[in-house]
Amino acid sequence: MIFLKKNRLIAPLFLLIVILAIGAGKIVYAQEQGAAKIAPVKQIKKIKIGPHPQYTRLILDITGPVEYQVKANFVEKKIFLVFDDTSVTPKVRSRKYRD
């Protein structure tokens, strides 16, 4: 009878220790994964427009490599540059240029 009473006390204590050990391991693992996926913020710092007789040049000062798409609307004579995961600094202003 004494053996059963000791096992009744040890089993819940052992189970609690196992649950805490497994749970703490998962929390630490999740924190490591979250910190590894944070990428530095990419920003457009300056935009320059350079007109030339045959073409117009756009120069963008960007803090790092970015992915972008060029979309052209030839009927309305508009070109759109679409940047993913990129922001602009407060110094950048919207501009229109007519060629």
Per-residue pLDDT, 75: 92
Per-residue pLDDT, 58: 85
Cβ within 8 Å of residue 72, ≥6 positions away: 78, 79, 80
pLDDT at 6 over 60: no
pTM tops 0.85: no
Count Cβ atoms within 10 A of the Cβ of residue 66 and give its class: 0-12 exposed, 13-18 middle, 19 or more buried. Answer: middle
Residues 2, 22 within the same domain: yes
Q: Based on the structure, what is the number of domains in the chain?
A: 2
Question: Would you say residue 31 lies in a domain?
Answer: yes
In this structure, how many other beta carbons lie within 10 angstroms of the beta carbon of residue 43? 15
29 against 87, higher pLDDT: 87
29 against 60, higher pLDDT: 60
Q: Which domain does 3 fall in, by range?
A: 1-38
Question: Would you say residue 71 lies in a domain?
Answer: yes
